[in-house]
Amino acid sequence: MTASTPSGQSSGAGGDAGTTLPRSDALASERPPRREEPPDPSPLTLLDFYPPQDPRWTRIAPFFLALKDGRFTTTRCTRDGTFHWPPAVACPKCHREELQWVDLPTHGRLYAFSEVRGGAPLGMEGGVPFVVGLVDLPGAPLRLFSRIVGRPYAELALGEPVRFETFPIRDGRLFYRFRAGGEPATR
């Protein structure tokens, strides 16, 4: 685990709360403002696999803003120290809302992996075969599931080193995955 870095320090993601997520009571009366840009032209609005990233729709927007800085983050409870995955707005252990954004390690090792050769969801059928796996992040009590790129299935082994990277999805959004071998291709 790298040093705790308040997201507000580098990206302003946490707003004036800095190290803490906004409390739910502060947002209780807010409603998402009317969208000003044209609606998403995709016919798959209800089948969009990716989570909402815009602060108008989610309270964990700092996670996605950090991706734009090439940083991989999650929340940790300031009270009991629990690491959350995915990022949370209330601690599932002690149910407090005072959480802190922390950086995650960007290098890990494959704990298990397989390859999707068929039966892929809409929008991903053209991408088969592709590799997915569980990645152990040394130093963090986390083992994350992710798409694995960079090497074909047949050239991967248990324990293979992999590295976090971001990649663009539609609408200017970014998401994360892990890359085996070679140099990272963070945007």
Choose which of 72, 113, 150, 174 interacts with other proteins (CB under 8 A): 113
Strand pairing category for 161-168 and 174-180: antiparallel
Paired residues of 137 in beta bridges: 142
Q: Is residue 167 part of the contact set for other proteins (CB under 8 A)?
A: no
Question: CA 56 to CA 144: how far, in whole Å?
Answer: 27
**Residue 22 buriedness (CB in 10 A; 0-12 / 13-18 / 19+):** middle
Q: Is residue 118 part of the contact set for other proteins (CB under 8 A)?
A: yes
Select the span of 13-21, 95-103, 122-130, 160-168 touching other proteins (CB under 8 A).
122-130
Amino acid letter at 98? Answer: E
Give the nearer residue to other proteins in terms of CB position, either 10 or 114: 114
DSSP 7: H
Residues 29-58 that bind other proteins (CB under 8 A): 47, 49-51
Question: CA 140 to CA 4: how far, in whole Å?
Answer: 12
Instruction: Report in angstroms how near the CB of residue 14 gets to other proteins at its nearest.
Output: 21
Instruction: Report in angstroms how near the CB of residue 67 gets to other proteins at its nearest.
Output: 13
Give the nearer residue to other proteins in terms of CB position, either 26 or 170: 170
Residues 137-156 that bind other proteins (CB under 8 A): 142-147, 153
Pair 98, 20: CB distance under 8 Å: yes
Paired residues of 166 in beta bridges: 176
Structure tokens at 116: 């999707």
Instruction: Report in angstroms how near the CB of residue 49 gets to other proteins at its nearest.
Output: 4
| List of residues contacting other proteins (CB under 8 A) | 47, 49-51, 85-86, 111-122, 124-125, 127, 130, 132-134, 142-147, 153, 158, 175, 177
